[in-house]
Amino acid sequence: MSGVRRSALIGPVLVLATLVSSIVSSFGAPLIPTVAQDFDVSLSTAQWSLTVALLVGTVGSPVLGRLGDGPGRRATLLGGLAVVTAGGVVAALADGMGMLLVGRGLQGVGLGLAPLAIATARDALPQAKVAPTIALLSVSAAAGLGAGYPISGLIAGTWGLSGAYWFGTVVSGLTLACVAVIVPPSRERHDPGRLDWPGAVLLALALVSAMVGVSQGSEWGWGSPAITGLLVAGALLLVIWSVQQLRAASPLVRLRLLRHPSVLSGDACALVLGAAMYMVLTGMTEFVQSPRSGGFGFSASALVAGLVLIPLSVLMFASSRVLPSLVARMGIRALLTLGCLVAALGSGFFALFHGSLWQAFVMTGILGVGLGTTFAAIPGLITQSVPARETGSAIGFFQVLRFVGYSLGSALTATVLATHLGGTGHPTESGYTSVLWTSTGICVVAAALAWFLPAGSPQPTPTEETPTESDRARTGADDDEPRAGAQPEQLECAHEEGANDGR
């Protein structure tokens, strides 16, 4: 294969890797009833087939991001895809719930591959393709979650539970082969140093404690000692982790980068919008499957419930393609604000009008436009504000916050529905509309964050006007030299990083 043709395929292959990993990792929600039946467990226990993948992805994002900062990026990407493929085999062959959870946990590693793909795009692609590819990669990570619902439901309905996991094994294995052939080694020669294992362990314990507490709060009781202990432990561990990261010579996540307005604004929006997105995903799939005999719902199958999310995924991709022109016309702050308000419009629309199934398709389409523009814009905003060698770590932390938002959204949905139960013990129509209105309010809060936390004007990306680590190696530029076009905050971060590296 010629070098030119191979270079043209790098972007599509990275998108494929991100999309496939996200789809495979999201195999869960439509399969939960089947998991409960096949393994003779309760629905709450079967829910862990989705929760464990989300937990592993949340913890794995910053770890993989840090491992992929530097010359080992391609090897880390290949290793992550290999783990996802192996997880599919374990899940497909599982003869018990424990083995299934191991396989699903391995598949959850795929949710942490987006930072690696984004860092690879920044390093390997021509400068004109970097911004649109990063936008598309970010949307792929989110849209894949929605696409996984109908795909897993369709395959499981035809070939059973193991068939769905075998399908995930095949497509992730093919993706692994494509990455091995197309994606070149990293041009960066900066050694990111040893992985901050204490930071990784602390972050894992903090997130697992907090997310288990949040996800099980409605079932165990929010005031129960177990939930209280988990939430308090999670908060304390997060504080300890933050202090440890600020003092570490080579931290897992450089928290000082949050002082940059663009990074802070992007991460805050990711957390809030992640919660809103998952409230709609979980609430919508339950609403459309509710029996019409209850006075609402559409008595839809799990497959139809998944198909309702197709407009979300399609329009998220479509809206990301027009991102560069929108940023040029509106500016990043106005675009983020408008995207959040469009997402609020989608949730509010279905809260008011939900008598026909077509209205559900319209709602997810509107939501896809809003989330597509915001989730596509945020990673580009962050990568333009951090040094090239910190891309994987910074985007990994962005992914962590987005996954935490997903968990919070799922927990909020369960809590709201639990307070609106009818005589049959099932949620009422007012419960679902309350979920939608809560999601609407969250999107409005995200719009306020985008507007009042100044993102600033997009700065030249390192592939355009500022030298990356690989550029410095080729030109012999001094690492201590200020980057052209860098802003004061960026120069300050770069100075501190140089000091830390010197230690």
- Report the pLDDT value the prediction gives residue 480, as an integer from 0 to 100: 35
Assess if residue 308 is contained within a domain: yes
SS3 295: coil
Q: Are residues 243 and 258 in the same domain?
A: no
253 and 238 assigned to the same domain: no
Please give the distance of CA 203 from its chain centroid, rounded to a whole number: 17
Same domain, 443 and 407: yes
Q: What is the pLDDT of residue 436?
A: 94
The verdict on 91 and 221 lying in the same domain is: no
Task: Give pLDDT, residue 236.
Answer: 96
User: Which of residues 225, 247, 269 is at a domain's end?
Assistant: 247
Residue 430's pLDDT is what?
92
Count the helix, strand and coil residues of the chain and give each as a percent rounded to the nearest 5. 80, 0, 20
Q: Are residues 224 and 274 in the same domain?
A: no
Per the DSSP assignment, residues forming a β-bridge with 421 are 427
The backbone torsions φ and ψ at residue 421, rounded to the nearest 5 degrees and listed phi first, read -100, 140
**How far is Cα 395 from Cα 266, in angstroms, rounded to an integer?**
10
476: left (phi over 0), alpha (psi -120 to 50) or beta: left
CB atoms within 10 A of CB 314: 17
Residues 6+ apart with CB under 8 A from 26: 50, 53, 144, 145, 146, 147, 148, 149, 152
Task: Provide the pLDDT for residue 235.
Answer: 94
Per-residue pLDDT of the chain (503 residues; tens, 9 = 90+): 556 677 788 988 998 888 888 788 767 666 777 788 889 887 667 877 877 887 788 788 778 877 777 777 888 999 999 999 999 999 999 999 999 999 999 998 888 888 788 888 888 888 888 878 887 887 777 677 667 777 877 787 778 888 889 998 999 999 999 999 999 887 766 666 677 889 889 988 998 888 788 777 777 888 899 999 999 999 999 999 999 999 988 888 778 878 788 888 888 888 999 889 888 887 887 888 888 888 888 988 777 877 888 888 888 888 877 877 888 888 888 888 999 999 999 999 999 999 999 999 999 999 999 988 888 888 878 887 787 777 777 777 887 888 788 878 877 887 788 788 877 777 899 999 999 999 999 999 999 988 887 554 444 333 333 344 434 333 333 333 333 333 333 333 433 444 444 33
Which residue is it, tokens 């945020």?
378
Provide the pLDDT for residue 358: 94
What DSSP element (H or E) covers 308?
A: none
Instruction: Tell if the pTM clears 0.85, that is, is over it.
Output: no
Q: What is the pLDDT of residue 482?
A: 35
The verdict on residue 464 lying in a domain is: no
Considering the domain boundaries, does residue 201 fall inside one?
yes
How does DSSP classify residue 409?
Answer: H
Query: Are residues 243 and 123 part of one domain?
Result: no
Any domain includes 158? yes
Supply the pLDDT for residue 135: 76
- In whole angstroms, give the CA distance from residue 496 to residue 483: 14
Which long-range contacts does 382-385 make (Cβ < 8 Å, 24+ apart)? 382/262, 382/263, 382/266, 382/267, 383/118, 383/122, 383/134, 383/461, 384/262, 384/458, 384/459, 384/460, 384/461, 385/257, 385/260, 385/262, 385/263, 385/459, 385/489, 385/490
Tell me the DSSP string of 245-267. HHH-SS-SS-GGGGGSHHHHHHH
Token pair of 396 as six digits:
């990994």
Structural domain span for residue 236: 197-247
Q: Are residues 96 and 233 in the same domain?
A: no
Residue located via tokens 């770590």: 393
Among the candidates 407, 436, 452, a domain finishes at 452
Domain assignment present for 366? yes
The DSSP bridge partners found for residue 427 are 421
Q: Do residues 110 and 172 both lie within one domain?
A: yes
Written as six digits, the tokens of 158 are 């035809």
Amino acid at 142: A
Would you say residue 488 lies in a domain?
A: no
Does the residue 157 lie in any domain? yes
Task: Name the token pair of 327.
Answer: 């940023």
Amino acid at 13: V
Read off the CATH number of the domain in which 89 is found.
Answer: 1.20.1250.20
Tell me 427's DSSP state: B
Q: Are residues 388 and 447 in the same domain?
A: yes
User: CB neighbours of 114 closer than 8 A, spacing ≥ 6?
Assistant: 18, 21, 22, 61, 137, 138, 140, 141, 395, 399
Output the CA–CA distances (angstroms, integers) from residue 33 to 14, 43, 49, 108, 288, in the order listed.
Answer: 33, 7, 11, 20, 16
Tell which residue, 240, 209, 239, has the closest CA to residue 227: 209
| pLDDT the model gives residue 402 | 83
Instruction: Indicate the number of domains in the chain.
Output: 2
Same domain (yes/no): 101, 9: yes
Q: What size, in residues, is the chain?
A: 503
Domain termination site, one of 227, 247, 267: 247
- Answer yes or no: do 70 and 177 share one domain: yes
Same domain, 412 and 440: yes
